[in-house]
Structure 1
Amino acid sequence: MTEQTIALVTGANKGIGYEIAAGLGALGWSVGIGARDQERRESAVAKLRAAGVDAFGVPLDVTDDASVADAARLIEERAGRLDVLVNNAGTTGNAPQMPTTVDVATVRTAVETNVIGVIRVTNAMLPLLRRSSSPRIVNMSSTVGSLTRQTTPGAEVGPTSVAYSPSKTFLNAVTVQYAKELSDTNILINLGCPGYCATDLNGFRGVRTAQQGAAIAIRLASLPDDGPTGHFFDDAGEVPW
């Protein structure tokens, strides 16, 4: 009998994270709904369970060491391992983000959540991932973090941003370093861009649905054992660095 796949999605109580959890649950996986807000987390779990998903709540603040450690213990007690980690939790940071006038606290907040939070959660979950026969890590990034696109005249890369966009560039670089260190293991780690989705992070101005944005994460979470690692993808294919 095949063991049920155990996944954790951070920032999964709403938006793209919720749709990632729903999509993984539709595969028959057991999905941890990582979120800080208890009411929203419990509501998301209830909604997913009503839809037939084997969902369970995971109290999780990616910026807090103790919260992340508690989340790892919860998953260990529940399943004894983790097969898939989707680092989806993120923030755009406050506006404005013009380099010459930005409040440095805005930059610090974006990096703390979008980069350090990913490192914190990944490292806490790695012992559980190492117990999996086919471990996968998906880091949700953005094409606005692509330096190639940022420096290409006429490319659509959004407004000038000294906090959010560079935090995704930083995350991309960090993911490459993980892939290098883990190259002699069976852990596949990749970056996925959901595209410009209508979520509360952008005031629902996006042109894609959260469900469409979740597709790339679901694909990377379910890669075969000979799949890529240390790469950056969106729905159209590989994204240039």
Structure 2
Amino acid sequence: MWAGSRTGKHIARLPAAEGFTVHVGSRDAWRGEAPATETGAGARPLGLDVMDAEGIDRAAARIDHLDVQRLPAPLRRSDRPRVVNVSSGTASLTRSSRPNPRFTPGSGGPQAEEGFKVNALAPGLRAADLNPRATACGGDPAEAVEAALRLALLSDDGPTGGFFSWDGTPVPW
């Protein structure tokens, strides 16, 4: 997980505080050393250039198993794989356009049969480094991070194929 941005640092710190090992991905492992140190115990720098297929393979080989992902990695090795796609409320076809009845998100895709929980999160506008409007908005990034962690730590009987707002309410597809 990238911990170089304001939101990324929040996302990395909370699971580290819960006892997770957090792999702080950056193109060069040495660039992840400072964010990993700032993240706390259990954080490890990981060289990961997502544009380099061989580099992805090298990074994946260094990880025994993965329970939660923010970026693609060896999730199939986990007993409880979770995918949280951070999206936006404007991605809701129902809210932003006329819905197409032929489009349905399904129930988490084919990964659901393998025990994956695949959900999307609309975190709301947060004071992050995304753009000047976001930086000035005053929305606490920690609220969005807590929402992402709720989805990442779902029990086996939790939802999959859902789209949720930061406060847990369903967002219409």
Tell me the TM-score normalized by structure 2: 0.83
- The alpha-carbon deviation at position 38 of structure 1 amounts to 5.2
Q: Judging changes above 3 Å, is the alpha-carbon distance between structure 1 residues 184 and 148 closer, same or farther for their aligned structure 2 residues?
A: same
- The alpha-carbon deviation at position 17 of structure 1 amounts to 1.7
1:141 to 65, 78, 87: 87
Q: 2: distance between equivalents of 1:218 and 1:12?
A: 15
Residue equivalent to 1:229: 160
Residue equivalent to 2:56: 68
**Within 5 A, what are the aligned runs for 1:1-241?**
9=1, 11-36=2-27, 40-49=31-40, 53-75=41-63, 80-87=64-71, 121=72, 125=73, 128-151=74-97, 176=105, 179-203=108-132, 204-236=135-167, 237-241=169-173
Runs of 5+ unmatched residues, structure 1: 1-8, 88-120, 153-172
- The alpha-carbon deviation at position 222 of structure 1 amounts to 0.6
Report Cα offsets for 1:45-81 as digits up to 9, x if no partner: 01122xxx31011222333323322221221xxxx21
- The alpha-carbon deviation at position 44 of structure 1 amounts to 0.8
Q: 1: distance between equivalents of 2:96 and 2:165?
A: 16
Tell me the TM-score normalized by structure 1: 0.62
Quick check: which one's helix share is greater? 1
* Partner SS, residue 149 of structure 1: helix
Runs of 5+ unmatched residues, structure 2: none
Contact between 2:67 and 2:81, CA under 8 Å: does it hold in 1? yes
C-alpha RMSD over aligned residues: 2.2
Q: 1: distance between equivalents of 2:91 and 2:14?
A: 25
Contact between 2:3 and 2:36, CA under 8 Å: does it hold in 1? no
Identity across the alignment (%): 36
What is the aligned residue count? Answer: 165
Q: 2: distance between equivalents of 1:25 and 1:218?
A: 11
